[in-house]
Structure 1
Amino acid sequence: MHYLAKQPGGLTDADFQRDPSQSVRERNWFKVDWNLISLSLDYRFSDQTRLNWRTYTLQAGREALGILNYINRPDPGGARDLLADRYNNFGSEVRLLHQYTLFKDLKSTLLTGARLYKGLTLRKQGEADAGNGPQFDFVPSEPSHSDYRFPGTNVAGFVENIFQLNDKWNVTPGVRMEYISTNAEGYFYQIMRFVPNVKVQEEREKNRSFLLAGIGSSYQLFKGVELYANISQNYRSINFNDLRVQNENARVDSLLKDENGYTADGGIRGKLNDWLYYDMSLFYLKYNDRIGSVFTKNEDNMVYRLRTNVADSRNIGFEGIIEADFLKVFTQGKSRYKLSVYTNFAAIDARYINTQETAIRNKRVEFVPPLLFRSGVSFGDKRFNITYQYSYIAKQYSDATNAEFTPTAVDGAVPAYQVMDVSVSYQWKWLGIFGSINNLANTSYFTRRADGYPGPGILPSDPRGYYLTLQAKF
């Protein structure tokens, strides 16, 4: 995939209210070169034993050129900022699945495997030309901000087993062993006042190994009704990729560390007479030293977003899914058509805990809306189908202090919004026609406040869009 795009930049809250389609940046460009190659192999040793091997490589790059300063200030002219990345990544994973009899005639299933990943990111940042066009060259040729290599390695082995204890009850324990190595090699220019910036050479390395475990179980209460519960450890490792990016809108804590925690959920699911499907669950997520964003100020009293280990956090929530085909009920399954109605609802209370920082304690976790609701209806047969979908996302925040507004628009509230979409499809022999209207009501809304490209600031979502696709099968 290759493309070149001119970017409008972000908006302040006031700009968005006036006209979300406007642009206050005329010199921003984005270029992508993305090449992904994958290979998959399946081998059957017997009816009970199968092997799956998947491997891939990513050879890619992206370059962002433009003005990265505060979006509430006009383009000052002069040299633009250029961020240039190259990615050379390789991954391979092998899985072995074996079914066997443990109790009576009940089949249990063993899954084991290993994963290898090696990645290399080359990241450069510096000044580029002062023009308006897509000239992706550093001026001078040596990047004036930073030049880094970020190699990384991940090796993992895992095993899990579904023990079918009887015809109603199964238990699935699993473990995963991880080794992660992240490195940084390069230089950055330390910004000085009243004297020239200082070039600093830097090397960093962080290696860690750990074991993650989990267990799940399900029990068929009676026909069409199943109870289930799961608990597993989780882990999120850091990398050094964003540590030395010079950006007035954002900084990364140099002492940033990995986060860990666990996830637990339980619920009930099932089918009623083949026309109603449901899944209702409660869940709890706990993160220690959660990596998040904090609205703060620099020595000049200018605001920016700090990415750091904010505090412990916990998410408590409920999620429900219901889908029903009413024509199956009314016609007792004799109709060639289907009329399917579905609803997906989630209520989440995600907050920071175990901290003495009053600006953060008991505040909502960023970008976790407390309420999500999606519903839709679909009508059609084997050839024709039309679908309508409605989505509502409640108000959320972009940082851990739950700031309602900032002058630079990097942090602040993300207001609640609702969106409707319609899609139609028709299949005739070898010809297929697919059409859709996204954002049917042409609602003005946004889901993201960016601290860098393609912003900074508010990134408006797309207005109403029309799509038509023709498909031919020979």
Structure 2
Amino acid sequence: MKTTQIVPGLLALAIAQALFAPAIARADDVAAADAAADAQNNNTTELPKINVRERGLHDDTWPKLQHIMREVDGPLITVTKKTSITKLDSIPTVVDNNNRALFAQTPGIFYSEQQSPGQMNLSYRGIGNPQESEFVTVMLDGIPLMSDWIGYPTIYTFPLPQTLSEVQLIRGGSSLLYGPEPPPVVNLVSRKPVADRELAGYTENVAGSNGLFATFNQLSGTSGAWDYLVDAHYRTSDGERDNGDSKLRGGDLHLGYRPDDAAYYTFDFHAYSLDTGDPGKLSYPQFAADAETVTTPHNELWTDRYVAILGHDRKFDADTELVAKLWYGYQDNASRSQDRPPPDSPVPTTSTLQDDQFRFGGLDARVVHHWGRGNAFTIGTTYYHSDAPFRQWTMQGLTPDRYDRDGVPRLRQERSTDYGAVFAENVFRFAGGWHFVPSVRLERENVDIDETVKPPNLTRDLVDRSVDHTVPLFGLGFGNDFGRGNETYFNVSQGWRPVRYFDIGSPFGNTAAGSINDPDPTHVLSWEAGVHGTPVDGLFYDASLFWVNVKDRIESQPAGPDAPPNNTINVNTGDTRHRGFEGQIDYDFLAARDPKTTRHLSLFANLSLLNAEFTSTRNPANLGNRPAFSPKYLARVGLSWREDKHYKLALSAVSVASQYFQDSNLPAGTAGAANYIPAKVPSYTVADFSADWWVLPQLRLLGGVSNIADRKYYSRVFSNGLEPGIGRTFYAGASYEF
């Protein structure tokens, strides 16, 4: 067990400061009253002149809230933290598997693309491999979307954009708001029921390239104290390569009950089922010769996810509110993959069937109290538990059914995680537009593995491990409002990445007894200073400098000479430093002339410049190297033209610099060899266009083209192959609402 010691006095001081600050804030009023009494005792007839100025709510200006979150957003204090939002009502409908459009106006987020839907691959500022977003916290309405929030933080399901109202990105300090994983947090906000009618409906149907057909259907409304929303969706595609076909089915249910103005009870249920082929990874020579080559014609992936959530919001008075959520869910990541061919056969004859299940639940409760002149104090707790059995079988043939269990057991692990946290945060406001935000969070994790079957080629002992970590986190932020709608912000915050199942007991590593892995958690210290605002009508800008130190990175290393090819174990590989610039600008030419216009013509651009390197490493050869997936620049630019209920058009492009795909900054294989992978992922630029056009008040035509120039590129790379990006695709369809 590794337990980080904390100083109880620091925690007590932070909470006491927040609790007793109202008394301190009243000190000036008491002093003023005493002065007036003294004046009366001295028979003074002329009282000192008092200038009373009402301080407006800095975060309630409409133009600003089109781009960033409120400074106090319910129980979340985001002031002094860099945030970005995308309101989906302001962009054309996002269709199929093109999430570039979803993040087109989100600075800094790197989206590593693949042709198959399901897995979402995000990373930020070069911290970690984008593989399945393991280094980015992704949430839906504050509930983690990962397979297992602590032990296996991968994204295999992603909500349809049609179900979302907003995408939020929160940088440094996100661990103090939401919990583990290094910053940032991507929080997806679900659409709310229609509030002014008992029944409203929406249906959308599109068809497109590669056999795409997608339908989305929704009903919602409000009647008295009740509100509801229900949707069902289906999407099928043949894919760009053989065995790249997919079928997605899903649905969502929301029920809300508001007995009075002070209380709101909710029930939400989300269901998602995906079946997709896996055409396999390519070597670079295969990609260059024919990007539609299929290397695994029988591999298959299945993902099911079901989550039920109970929520309760209660306003105790005008200043105090409780927000609580209780959730339980089940996810099954299953796959079929062909084995390597035996030495005496040119083709594989067996396959591995894998079943990775997760049963999880949690509680998150937060109280926010507004006090004084714009101050707010929030305190809360989070608990999470998951059971995650992991099983594999060796099957004869290459096409066994998903639920076939007649093969030879190859691996069986019982795994579980427990995680808990308590946290407190306060925003203090002072004269002159200054604000100060101290934060504290205490977290504890337990990860447990009990292995009963191991792969037959490994000579190690069965894994039987339980690991605990207790980690205190602190943060400080301050800023100043100046001029017309401008604000400076500075934030320094700690974060960490808990150890995962694979970190402490990789099922594929052949580690000798007595030397089993025990890596320390990864710790992150983030600094950011910037300024943003809406100084003139139509203009929003945000520019910041950042510096992130990552200590004790946990990365994959070869599992050893006795392990199967490409299998790895995870160890602390060293420390990295990430520093750079991140900027965003949006100028609405029509709003500049008339701030109340319903027509908007906006030019937007965002740019991230990154300098990242290893500052210490267990492998001397990597010292000074650029960490994998750390492009020197990531730029997006676009033009958006819309009029409410008439049309929405968007043209955008993303440009990504070249980047190394592994920390060694070396290629895989030898140049000219069949299995060669270049050291660098080449730079690429991809442009997209999409449009919604209302031909009637209720009828809308939808259309778009992705990868307009049909750019041949890739961004998802492993030592055993790469996955091509999606070529040029089209879609067209219509929607009807009532």
TM-score, normalisation: structure 2 = 0.58
Residue pair 1:150, 1:241 contacting (<8 A) in 2 also: no
How far does residue 295 in structure 1 lie from its aligned partner after superposition?
7.2
Bigger relative CO (Cα 8 Å, ≥ 6 apart): 2
Change (3 A) 1:412 1:76: farther
Aligned residue identity for 2:320:
T
How far does residue 404 in structure 1 lie from its aligned partner after superposition?
3.0
Residue pair 1:129, 1:135 contacting (<8 A) in 2 also: no
User: Are 1:267 and 2:530 counterparts?
Assistant: yes
How far does residue 344 in structure 1 lie from its aligned partner after superposition?
0.4
Write the distance in 2 (CA, Å) between the matches of 1:100 and 1:132: 64
Of residues 337, 349, 358, the one that matches 2:611 is 349
Change (3 A) 1:410 1:48: farther
Of residues 395, 408, 417, the one that matches 2:658 is 395
User: What does residue 407 of structure 2 align with?
Assistant: 140
Residue pair 1:399, 1:411 contacting (<8 A) in 2 also: no
What residue ranges of structure 1 are gaps of 5+ in the alignment?
Answer: none
User: What does residue 435 of structure 1 align with?
Assistant: 703
Write the distance in 1 (CA, Å) between the matches of 2:455 and 2:396: 22
SS, match of residue 201 in structure 1: coil
User: What does residue 712 of structure 2 align with?
Assistant: 444
Residue pair 1:65, 1:136 contacting (<8 A) in 2 also: no
Aligned residues: 453
Of residues 369, 381, 391, the one that matches 1:124 is 391
SS, match of residue 617 in structure 2: coil
Write the distance in 2 (CA, Å) between the matches of 1:80 and 1:32: 19
User: What does residue 308 of structure 1 align with?
Assistant: 571
Write the distance in 2 (CA, Å) between the matches of 1:199 and 1:405: 28
Write the distance in 2 (CA, Å) between the matches of 1:207 and 1:247: 21
Change (3 A) 1:363 1:356: same
User: Are 1:292 and 2:555 counterparts?
Assistant: yes
Change (3 A) 1:334 1:299: closer
SS, match of residue 228 in structure 1: strand
Aligned residue identity for 2:309:
S
Write the distance in 1 (CA, Å) between the matches of 2:569 and 2:630: 18
How far does residue 20 in structure 1 lie from its aligned partner after superposition?
1.3
Task: State the percentage of identical aligned residues.
Answer: 23
Write the distance in 2 (CA, Å) between the matches of 1:60 and 1:9: 24
More strand as a share of residues: 1
User: What does residue 77 of structure 1 align with?
Assistant: 348
Change (3 A) 1:116 1:335: closer
User: What does residue 465 of structure 1 align with?
Assistant: 729
How is 1:153-172 mapped onto 2 (pairs within 5 angstroms)?
Answer: 153-172=418-437
User: What does residue 176 of structure 1 align with?
Assistant: 441
Write the distance in 2 (CA, Å) between the matches of 1:198 and 1:353: 35
User: What does residue 45 of structure 2 align with?
Assistant: none
Residue pair 1:276, 1:323 contacting (<8 A) in 2 also: yes
Of residues 467, 481, 487, the one that matches 1:226 is 487
Write the distance in 2 (CA, Å) between the matches of 1:131 and 1:191: 20
Change (3 A) 1:126 1:301: closer
User: What does residue 203 of structure 2 align with?
Assistant: none
SS, match of residue 664 in structure 2: coil
Change (3 A) 1:333 1:95: closer
Higher mean alpha-carbon deviation, 126-135 vs 43-52, is at: 126-135
Residue pair 1:348, 1:369 contacting (<8 A) in 2 also: yes
User: Are 1:385 and 2:648 counterparts?
Assistant: yes
Residue pair 2:355, 2:390 contacting (<8 A) in 1 also: yes
Q: Deviations over 1:237-271 (max 9, x none)?
A: 112247434389xxx98333311131010011111
Aligned residue identity for 2:728:
R
Change (3 A) 1:300 1:151: closer
Write the distance in 2 (CA, Å) between the matches of 1:160 and 1:58: 29
Write the distance in 1 (CA, Å) between the matches of 2:680 and 2:413: 34
Residue pair 2:528, 2:545 contacting (<8 A) in 1 also: yes
User: What does residue 276 of structure 1 align with?
Assistant: 539
Aligned residue identity for 2:706:
N
Change (3 A) 1:285 1:77: same
Change (3 A) 1:63 1:190: closer
TM-score, normalisation: structure 1 = 0.88
Residue pair 1:409, 1:449 contacting (<8 A) in 2 also: no
What's the Cα RMSD here?
2.8
Residue pair 2:502, 2:570 contacting (<8 A) in 1 also: no
What residue ranges of structure 2 are gaps of 5+ in the alignment?
Answer: 1-271
Change (3 A) 1:443 1:309: same
Aligned residue identity for 2:416:
P
How far does residue 172 in structure 1 lie from its aligned partner after superposition?
0.6
How far does residue 335 in structure 1 lie from its aligned partner after superposition?
6.0
User: What does residue 417 of structure 1 align with?
Assistant: 684
Higher mean alpha-carbon deviation, 426-435 vs 309-318, is at: 426-435
Higher mean alpha-carbon deviation, 210-219 vs 47-56, is at: 47-56
Aligned residue identity for 1:137:
D
Aligned residue identity for 2:382:
R
Write the distance in 1 (CA, Å) between the matches of 2:598 and 2:625: 52
More helix as a share of residues: 2
How far does residue 177 in structure 1 lie from its aligned partner after superposition?
0.8
Write the distance in 2 (CA, Å) between the matches of 1:247 and 1:233: 31
SS, match of residue 290 in structure 1: strand
SS, match of residue 401 in structure 1: coil
User: Are 1:374 and 2:636 counterparts?
Assistant: yes
Write the distance in 1 (CA, Å) between the matches of 2:559 and 2:502: 22
Residue pair 1:25, 1:75 contacting (<8 A) in 2 also: no
Change (3 A) 1:140 1:389: same
Aligned residue identity for 1:16:
F
Change (3 A) 1:269 1:402: same
